[in-house]
Chains A and B, each alone.
Chain A
Amino acid sequence: MSRQAIGYGLLLALMLVAPTVVYPVLVMKVLCFALFACAFNLLIGYTGLLSFGHAVFLGTAGYVAGHSIKVWGFPPELGLIFAALAAAALGWLIGSLAIRRSGIYFAMITLALSQMMYFFFLQAPFTGGEDGLQDVPRGKLLGVIDLTDDYNLYYFVLAIFVFAFWLIHRTIHSPFGQVLKAIRENEARAISLGYDVAKYKLLAFVLSAGLAGLAGATKTLVFRFATLTDAHWHTSGEVVLMTLLGGMGTVFGPVVGAATIVTLQNELADKVGSLVTVIMGAIFVVCVLAFRRGIVGELSALYKKMTGSR
C-alpha cells in the first residue's frame, strides 16, 4: 500500500514539473482527455456499460461552460461547476432511458440520444453552429489568479484532474465500487443478492457524465472555445480507443491511453501528412489483436507474473 502511495507521489511530482519540459497547453489537453477517458472507464471498465455517446457530455459541458463564462459573465470556477452539473443532469436523463437495456442496445440508445444533442448544437444559435463558440475568456480564478497565464492555468487544470482522479479512485475502491464490479461480473447474481442494480447503474452513469462534463468544461477554458467536434460521435469513438489502448478496467489505463492518442495526434500532425488516420487505425488493430488488456493491463499482468513466479 505504501509502495502505491510512493508511486502516486512520484507521478504527482512528475506532473508538477512537466510544463517546464513539455509544452503546457499540450499537457493540459492530455489531462482533459485523460479525465474524460477515466470517466468513461468508470462505466465500461468497472460497471460493464459501453456508452457510445459519451462525447455528448464533453460537448454539452463545453458549450455550457463557454456560454456561461462568455455571455453570462460567470467566473471560471463557477462556470466549470455549473457545466459539470449540467452534464450530470443530462447524464441522468440519458442514463435513465438507456440503462433499461443492456449490451448493444444500450450502446445504440446512448449513440442515438447523443446524435440528437449533436444536431441540437448544430442548429442552436448560441453554439455558433459549425463556426463554434469562440473567444471564451479564461478569466481570473476566484477573482485573484490570472488564468490567461499558461502556467497558472496548468496548475489549476492539474488540481482539477487530481481531484477528479481521486474521486474516481475512491469510488472504485468503495463499497459502491464493489457493487459496480459485481454488476459487471454477473448482473443476475447482484440482483439476487438484493442490490437495486438499476439505481447503481444510473448513479454510475450520472457520475461518469458529470466527470466527463468537467473534462469538457476544462477543455473549453484551456482552448477558449467549444466546437462541434467535441459533441461528434468521432469523439465518442476516440474515447473508446483511448480506454482500450491504455487498458480497460485499470486505474491508470485511460490516462496512458489518452496521453498516447493526444500526443500522437499532435505530433503526427506535421510529420506524416495524410497518414494520421491510417496510423491511428493500425495502432487500434495491433492493440486489439496483440495486447487486449491494453498497455497498462499488459504491464501489470507482466509484473504480477514476474513477482508471482519468484
Chain B
Amino acid sequence: MKRKMIGALVGAAVMSMATGQALAQKAPAAKLSGDMVKIGVLTDMSGVYSDLGGQGSVTAAQMAVEDFKAQAKPSWKIELVYADHQNKADVGSNKVREWYDTQGVDMVTDVLNSAVALAVSKVTQEKNRILIDTGAASTRLTNEDCSPNTVHYVYDTYALANGPGKAVTKQGKDTWFFLTADYAFGHSLEADTTNAVKASGGKVLGSVRHPLNASDFSSFLLQAQSSKAKVVGLANAGGDTINSIKAANEFGLTKSQTIVGLLTTIIDIHALGLPTTQGMMFTEGFYWNLNNETREWSRRFFGKHKKMPSMLHAGTYSAVMTYLKAVQASGTDDAATVMKKMKATPINDFFAKNGKIREDGRMEHDMYLVEVKKPAESKEPWDYYHIKAVIPANEAFQPMALSRCPMVKK
C-alpha cells in the first residue's frame, strides 16, 4: 500500500514536472511581446534613393498592414514606424538600435544602401529580431555577412549582373564592352556579368573604367563605340548611369549597340524618358504591367503614391505580408520561430510565384529581362517595358554551391 502510494506520488511528480516543462517550453512560443507586432521601415527619404524606396516603401508597408488586418483579422495589434536614415550608417543603426531597445520593434524592412543594411543586419542579429531587406544591393548580406536573422528579399548585384549576362548573350548579342565605375561595386558588377557572358558562350571585347561621379562620359563612350561590341554594359549606378545613358544617346550609340544597365530601375527610365532610353535592356525584380494581379495591386498603389511602384515598393509590401502571415501561423513574434516558418513556407503573391527563402537568407524568385519600349509603342503613362525573358528563380540568384555564408553547410 505504502509502496503504491509512493509510486503514485513519484508518478504524479514526474508527470507534473513533464507538463511543467512542456508549459515552460510552450509559454514563450504562445505569446506576442506586448500583444503587438511592430514593424519599422528604415529608408532614404531625403536623398538620392528616395524615389526608389522612400515614402513609397512606407506606403507599401502600410498597405500590407491594412490588407493583412482586413484578410486575417488578427487578435493582436500591428504598428508601423518609419525613419529616414539619410544614407548614413550611424543614423540608421542608431535608430534601429533604439527601435529594438526602447520601442519593441520586431521587424525592420526596406533598408536600402548597402553600408546601412550591413550595419543594421549586425544590430538585428545582436538583438535577435528580424531584418527583411528589400532595398540594398550587396551580396555580402547573404554571403560573408549572412545572419540567421536576415532575409534579402528583392534583388542583389549578382542577380542584376547575371540576368542580362546570360539572357542577352543567348539572344545573339554575344560581344560585350563594359563601362565600369572605378570602385569595388563597379568591379564586382563587371566581374559577375563577365562570368555570365562567358558561361553563355559570349565574348568580352574590353572595358573602360571611369571615376565615381564622373561628369564627362564622351571619351569613354567613344571607346565603347569603336570596340564594335554588340552590347555596352553599364557597370555603374545612380547619377553615373543617368549621365552615361544620356551621353550614349547623344553619341548615337543606341542605334547600333544595345545598352545594358546593370543597376537600372523603372525610376531611372521614368526620369530619363523613353526617347533617351529606348532599346535599353536590364533586369528587374518586378514590373507593374506584367499581369492582372500586378496591375491590380500597382493601380491601388498608384492611387496612394501617384507613382507606379518600383521593385522595392512591391517587394516591401510582399515582405511585410510574408512576415505577418508567418507571425500568425506560428503564433509568436519570436525571431527564430518566425524565421523558421518563413523559410518553410513558399511565397505566393503578386510579387513572387513560389518564392523561397533559402538557408543563407536569400529569397529566390523569378527575375525579368526587360527592354525599354520605343515612345510609339507605349500606350499609357508608365507603360515602359517589353518583357524579353523570364529568368527562373533557380538561375537568377547566386547558386548555393558558391555561397560564402558560414551558416551554409556543405
Contacts and interface: CB of A to CB of B under 8 A. Distances in A.
A216 to B, nearest CB: 11
A129 B184 CA distance: 6
Contacts of B77: none
A53 B5 CA distance: 85
A129 B183 CA distance: 7
A26 interface: yes
Q: How large is the interface on B (under 10, 10 to 19, 20 to 34, 35 or more residues)?
A: 35 or more
A181 interface: no
B63 to A, nearest CB: 17
Contacts of A225: 89, 93, 115, 118-119, 122
Interface in A231-286: 265-266, 268-270, 273-277
A223 B185 contact: no
A134 B118 contact: yes
Contacts of B118: 131-132, 134, 225
Contact of A276 (B84, B101, B140): B84
B236 to A, nearest CB: 12
Given A122-B183, A122-B212, A276-B84, A223 B119 contact: yes
Q: Is the interface of B mostly helix, strand, loop or mixed?
A: helix
B55 interface: yes
A75 interface: no
B55 A273 contact: yes
B90 A29 contact: yes
A224 B84 contact: no
B94 A130 contact: no
A228 interface: yes
Of the candidates B55, B91, B101, the one having the most CB atoms from chain A within 10 angstroms of its own CB is: B91
A122 to B, nearest CB: 5
A125 B140 CA distance: 14
Given A225-B93, A227-B115, A276-B46, A131 B86 contact: no
B326 to A, nearest CB: 25
Nearest to B183: A122
B95 A269 contact: yes
B184 to A, nearest CB: 3
Contacts of B102: 23
B90 A131 contact: no
A90 B185 CA distance: 27
B91 A265 contact: yes
Q: Is the interface of A mostly helix, strand, loop or mixed?
A: helix
A272 to B, nearest CB: 8
Interface residues of A, number: 32
B405 interface: no
Contacts of B81: 270
B84 A223 contact: no
A152 interface: no
Contacts of A132: 89, 114-115, 118-119
Interface string B84-106: 11111111011101100110000
A274 B45 contact: yes
Contacts of A134: 115, 118-119, 122, 145
B210 to A, nearest CB: 13
A113 B319 CA distance: 44
A263 to B, nearest CB: 11
A128 B184 contact: yes
Interface in A208-229: 219, 223-225, 227-229
B310 interface: no
A223 B126 CA distance: 12
B97 A25 contact: yes
A122 B183 CA distance: 6
B122 A135 contact: yes
Nearest to A219: B90
A269 B89 contact: no
Nearest to B118: A134
Interface of A: 23, 25-26, 29, 119, 122-123, 125, 128-132, 134-135, 219, 223-225, 227-229, 265-266, 268-270, 273-277
Given A123-B184, A223-B89, A229-B115, 4 more contacts: A25-B94, A224-B119, A229-B90, A274-B55
Give the 7 A-B CB pairs with smallest separation, nearest first.
Answer: A129-B184, A270-B83, A132-B115, A269-B83, A227-B89, A274-B46, A227-B115
